[in-house]
Amino acid sequence: MKKTIWKYMLKVDDAQIIAMPANAHILTVQVQFGDPCLWALVSPQMPLEGRRILIAGTGHEREDINGLTNYIGSFQLAGGALVFHVFEDVLHAAVADSTEVAAAVQA
């Protein structure tokens, strides 16, 4: 099965659902041209599934970032004045609502 790397633009929100082909492997998160982006290794022919991404600013308290989340990476905005940390919520990713996936695909 052929694979490729896709880029996904991130919103600086507490949580968001990103539609990715099933079994995509998240590689990194970085800022490109001032916008936070996530890159993943995907098999484009696989059906889409929702992946729940959490973003927390340094010093912000969150109850949903715990042992059931995977750290992806961190990024800085505003010349380093704002630092954010990105996680995947692995518990809720598999149960992402089909409406959320459809909305993510259209975004």
Predicted local confidence at residue 4, as pLDDT? 96
CA 103 to chain centre: 15
Is residue 90 very low, low, confident or very high in pLDDT (cuts 50, 70, 90)?
Answer: confident
Predicted local confidence at residue 3, as pLDDT? 96
Q: Which of 21-25, 71-75, 96-100 has the lowest mean pLDDT?
A: 96-100
Is the pLDDT reported for residue 1 higher than 50?
yes
Q: Which of 41-45, 62-66, 102-106 has the lowest mean pLDDT?
A: 102-106
Residue positions counted in the chain: 107
Q: Are strands 15-21 and 48-57 parallel, antiparallel or unpaired?
A: antiparallel
CA 95 to chain centre: 15
Both tokens assigned to 106: 């259209």
pTM equals 0.85
Considering the chain, what is the average pLDDT of its residues? Answer: 88
Please, where are the H alpha helices in the chain? 90-93, 98-106
Predicted local confidence at residue 39, as pLDDT? 98
